[in-house]
Structures are given as C-alpha cells and as structure tokens.
Amino acid sequence: MKSTKGATMRTTRHFSDTPDEKQLRALLADLKHFRTEAKKASKDSLKAWRPHIHWRGFLPSACNMGAYIGLRRHDLRGIQSMLAALGLSSLGRTEGHVLANLDAVIYALEALSGKPVDPQKILATAQTFNAAGQHLGMQTERLFGPAPQHRAVRIMVTFPSEAASDYVFVRELIRRGMDCARINCAHDTPEAWKKMVDFVRQAERETDRTCKILMDLAGPKLRTGPVAMEPGIVRLKPRRNSRGNVKERGRVILDGSGLHGRPALKDTLGHRAPARLSVPADWLQQLASGDRIEFEDLRGKHGALIVEKQLSELEFMASSDDSAYLEEGLTLTHYPQPAARSRAKRSSGSATQIGPILSTPAAILLHEGDLLQLTREALAGEAAKVDEGDNSIIPAHIACIPPAVLDHLKPGQRVLIDDGHISAEVDTLNKQGALLKVTRAKSQGSKLGAEKGLNFPDTKLNLPALTNKDRNDLDFIVQHADIVGYSFVQSGEDMELLLKALGERRAKKVGIVAKIETRQALNNLPEIIVRGAGGHPFGVMIARGDLAVEIGYEQLAETQEEIMWLCESAHVPVIWATQVLEGLVKQNMPSRAEVTDAAMAERAECIMLNKGPFILDAIDVLDRVVARMQSHQHKKSPRMRTLNW
C-alpha cells in the first residue's frame, strides 16, 4: 500500500488564489494526466491480479482499486484547494469511483473553459457514482447479511467462554443488536464452540433476527510461556466506609465436596463468586448458623468466621469483619453458638485443617532498566532473584512461544510485550535465547504474565500463517460458521494458503475476514484484498491493538484511515476493532474519547466490541451512537441533516 514502485510521480503546480484562464487550462491538463496515469495503473494492476480473481463480480472493484492506487501515487494537495474554490469536487471523496470522479471534474472544467460538454457523459458519471455505492453495500451484505432497519453498520461481539453455558445471555446479545458473533479459536474447545453456535442459531429463530458467526483462527500467536505457580491463598477482604467501619463483610464458602478451594473471582459476564475453602464433609456437618470458627492466619493474626447460612448439603456461607490471609494446612476451630459465649468451654472446639487451594501464578514485576531473559525452553517464568554464590542478580525469565522466533532476533531490535505495556530491546543473544533490557514500564512496575502477546516490529519473521491447529479448526469452522477470521495474514501468498485449505474442504461460500495486524500485512494489503475478495465474500479487520504496537501509536490514526480508503476503493467492508467503548464494556464507565471513537467508527461497515461484564449496555450505547451518526456522515462525506438552531 505504501509502495510507489513503478509510479510516475508528478508534483502538482502551485495555483494562485485568483485563477485565470491559463491556470484553468493548466489545471485541466493536470487532471487529464492524473486520469491517464490512474487508468494505466488500473490496467497494469488488473493484468497482474487477473489470475487470482475467480469471481467476476469483483472485477470492477479490482479495476477501481488499481485506479485509486495509481491516483494516490501523486501528491494532489496543490490542486485541491483550487478545485474547491471553483465549486468543484476536490477529489477528497473519490475512493469508490475514481475514474468517474475525475471525469466529472474534467467535464466541469471543460465547461468552465467554454468547451461544449455532452450531457450524456455527465449523466454516465452520475450513474457510475451510484453503482459504486451499491457495490460496497452488496459486498457488505454478502459477508454480513442484511443490515438492521435503523442502521447500516453491523455490530460484532466477541464471545466469552460463558456463552457456551448461558443461552439467555446469547439471546439477549442478539435481541439488543448483535449482528455477528465472534468465536476465538485460540480459546475454549470445539465442544464449547458447538454450544455457542447452537445458542446463536436458536436465538436467531426466537428473536427473528439474523446473526452471522465469525470464527477466528488462532494463527501463529507469538506469546510468553507459562509462569511458575505459587501456593494458593484465599484473602478475606471486608469493605469499609471512609470512617473504617465495615459495610460489607468478607465472605467465603466452606466447601465439603472435595474440590480445591480458590480465591474470589468475577467472570467475563460480571458474575461474582465468593472465595471457597475446602474442608472435610464430616466436620462441615457440625456447623449451624451463628456458629463461630476461629483461626490464626498465615501472618499469625487471630481471626474468626461467623457461619451465616447453609447453601447446600456440602456448602456453608461464612463471613468475617477482619482481613485475613488463609492457606492450605491452617487450622479452623469450630465453636457452636452457645459455647462461643463461654470461654470456659472453648477447649471443646472441634478443629480441622484447610484443604488444598488452587495455585496462582507468581508475580513477575518489571521496571525500566531491568533485564528479562526470553528462553527457548518452555521453563516456567520466574521473577529476578539473587545468586547466593556471588550475590549477583539472576534476571527474570520467561519462555518465548514459538521459540523459532528467537532465531530471527538481532541486538538492538525492539520487543513489545502485552500490547506494548512493556517495551524492551534485545541486549544480547545467548544459548538460552535472548536477553532483553526493559526500556519502558509503569513507574510502579509492570506485571508480566503468561500468554501475553509478543510483537517484534523490527524483525522480519517467516512464520507460517496457517498452523496445524488452524487446519484442524477449519474442519469445524466450515461446518458451523459463516465467516473465518484469518489471523497473522501478511501477504498474498498467506491468503493462498487459506484459500487452498478452504477449497480442499469444499467451502467456497465461507466468508473471509483478513485481520491486518502487522506492518508487512499493511504493505501487502492490495494483494491480500485481491486474493481474498477475488473468490469469497470478504472483509478486512483493522486489528488496532496489534497494529498500533507494530507501527507505533502515533501512526495508528492515519493508518486506519488509509486502510479504510483502500478498502472502499475495492468495495470491501471494514471491521473497526479493538477497545471500542472499552471503559463501558469493562467498567461500566465510558470516556468521552471512547464515545467519539465509536462515533467515528460509523464510517466502517462493522464495529467489534470485546467481551466484558457490561457488554449488553455497550451494545445499547453503540447502537444509538452509530444510528444517529449515519445521518451526519457516510464514509468521508458529511451529511447535512437539519440542525435545530
């Protein structure tokens, strides 16, 4: 997309603010030259692309994209203000109909110059304008199905794991306005995916709404390896008001089922679950509401639980006014309610020990200037520690998956971890892998965890875009999904791998969404589009998270615009993804910047929301925002709806 190889560059002239006939003739000559160059670029591009276009319906779109690439090889800023001053199109919205837009301006300039213009030619350009808009609409409907009556933009939602067990949640997503469900094959199992698919199909019938299913291939995800586990701890943490008084007791479920205990948690739907402690079933049977259970926590601090109520045959709810840290093996002593009031009878309390508690990942905290060893071996990651032999510091370490990435690294190259929350560069290469030096982290330190994304923006990685897991997952996808999301696609050759795999599975009608998440994919976007849209329903996802890490956050705004322009020229729908209304989805509190971002996303054909506890509220807000914005803008064109002043 960025290349100007083979282009004839032309510097546009400078025109004065008071044009004369000579400047009009020069302006007309420039535009005719640009049209000639655009048409030649279209012809040359189509000659190279034609073997990859197997659906004739995409030919006009490919021709237009070739013309757009040819036109944008020139810097047009010198003539745009002149055209606007003459009351003509400044070519700023030419994406969908390049040659027709140039023709319309040329005919108008010829008329201003006194040359007779055939009205039929002008009418023909108007028809081409309308047809171009219909092309994009048809391609969008071909991929996503019909749009809702009140908005043209589709809403996609990433499913959490709970969507496999909560039908009511899935139905509510569709009822509120979800037009496409995204299932990430990097998570869960085929059994869980099948339940999600069945829930969507059932909800479609019950709500009388269409909802497509997109399943994302995991791809060769670059990530950190596992982290060492630490003994599990259950923390009781009552909530207090500003004066220190308890307003909500710390609660824990005493569980006699034999399952391991665990800390309190909150799932991705926002459902909260209290902590659990494993205790013997026979000891549990002695409990009754109001009983007291005393303990000494791992800090040596004395504490007590009050039994609130029985939840089931093997579960009791208990609570405490005090903070406590509990681990496996600590003693719990039960005092029935009457005995708890008499110190003389305390010695008769029945004691037991806390059973196993699920382990938790160790904390690896990194600060700017720290060293981090990326290892080839799948060693469990650990924090830095002191060598007892010579009192030196042994750097923190974590595995790199896949380890083959380390073969491509060179000193000085950047390594970005966890969507860029930790930045580092290669210090040295060694037998273990690569020693990194942290160049940016939070002032209080950034936590490094397992399965966090790794980006190598300065390194050319030759990794297969389609893994063995992806091929296995495709067998499921072609049977149950409408669209396959192609992760880590970086070239036309990568696209051919997927096309061949789909052909082998006789899945020619399955839609494809190419996720643009690397600099290499950005540079090869025209080839990716041609090969994908040349045979299948096709769209492009702007994966703004990974892409921002790859190209730098300061370039993301202009880059996402350029991707949308190129896709519009090919009449290919775009999905605007990553952190849309993230504050609302995760914390029930959107920022003003997020709402503005969502409004600007209306220029795409589909907007993706990520999973979170407040996703239903986010769909409502996004639905209203884009429905209102479509009366004010369409792509780059403002719409002049009546205002209230």
Q: What is the pLDDT of residues 170-210, one digit of tens each?
A: 999 999 999 999 999 999 999 999 999 999 999 999 999 99
Q: pLDDT, tens digit, for every residue of 206-231?
A: 999 999 999 999 998 899 999 999 99
The one-character DSSP state at 630 is T
Closest CA to 573 of 490, 514, 491, 501: 514
Can you give the pLDDT at residue 500?
Answer: 97
Can you give the pLDDT at residue 4?
Answer: 41
Q: pLDDT, tens digit, for every residue of 258-279?
A: 999 999 988 777 778 899 999 9
Confidence of residue 128 (pLDDT cuts 50, 70, 90): confident
Can you give the pLDDT at residue 348?
Answer: 59
Residue 340 has pLDDT above 50, yes or no: no
3-state secondary structure 350-381: EEEECCCECCEECCEEECCCCEEEEECCCCCE
Q: Give the residue with greater pLDDT, 468 vs 392.
A: 468
Distance from the Cα of residue 426 to its chain's centroid: 27
Report the chain's mean pLDDT, rounded to a whole number. Answer: 92
For the chain, domain boundaries = 21-144, 230-360, 364-455
Closest CA to 451 of 228, 222, 268: 222
Between CA 549 and CA 522 the distance in angstroms is 13
Q: pLDDT, tens digit, for every residue of 154-163?
A: 999 999 999 9
Token duo for residue 350:
């029945």
Stretch 543-554: mean pLDDT: 91
* Helix (H/G/I), strand (E/B), else coil: 438: strand
Residue 3 has pLDDT above 70, yes or no: no
Q: What is the pTM of this model?
A: 0.87
Closest CA to 538 of 518, 555, 514, 568: 514
Q: pLDDT, tens digit, for every residue of 58-71?
A: 999 999 999 999 99
Residue 2 has pLDDT above 90, yes or no: no
Can you give the pLDDT at residue 275?
Answer: 95
Token duo for residue 153:
């933009």
Please check whether residue 179 is in contact with residue 210, taking contact to mean a CB–CB distance below 8 angstroms. Answer: yes
Burial of residue 529 (CB within 10 Å: 0-12, 13-18, 19+) is buried
Q: pLDDT, tens digit, for every residue of 426-450?
A: 999 999 999 999 999 999 999 999 9
Q: pLDDT, tens digit, for every residue of 292-327?
A: 999 999 999 999 999 999 999 999 999 999 999 999
Stretch 8-28: mean pLDDT: 68
Confidence of residue 121 (pLDDT cuts 50, 70, 90): confident
**H or E element, residue 398:** strand 396-401
Return the percentage of the chain with pLDDT > 90, whole number: 80
Can you give the pLDDT at residue 326?
Answer: 97
Token duo for residue 81:
């203000």
Confidence of residue 17 (pLDDT cuts 50, 70, 90): low
The bridge status of strand 315-320 relative to strand 250-255 is antiparallel
Give φ, ψ of 433 to 5 degrees.
150, -115
Residue 127 has pLDDT above 90, yes or no: no
Stretch 517-530: mean pLDDT: 95
Q: Taking the CB of residue 33, how many other CB atoms lie within 10 A of it?
A: 14
Can you give the pLDDT at residue 15?
Answer: 55
Q: pLDDT, tens digit, for every residue of 624-643?
A: 999 999 999 888 888 888 88
Between CA 473 and CA 486 the distance in angstroms is 12
> Tokens 């930045």 sit at which residue?
423
Residue 346 has pLDDT above 70, yes or no: no
Stretch 96-114: mean pLDDT: 92
Stretch 562-591: mean pLDDT: 95
Distance from the Cα of residue 549 to its chain's centroid: 13
Residue 366 has pLDDT above 60, yes or no: yes
Please check whether residue 289 is in contact with residue 309, taking contact to mean a CB–CB distance below 8 angstroms. Answer: yes
Please check whether residue 293 is in contact with residue 340, taking contact to mean a CB–CB distance below 8 angstroms. Answer: no
Can you give the pLDDT at residue 7?
Answer: 44
> Tokens 């956050």 sit at which residue?
553
Between CA 203 and CA 179 the distance in angstroms is 12
Stretch 404-420: mean pLDDT: 94
Can you give the pLDDT at residue 507?
Answer: 96
Q: Give the residue with greater pLDDT, 242 vs 170.
A: 170
Q: What architecture does CATH give domain 364-455?
A: Beta Barrel (2.40)
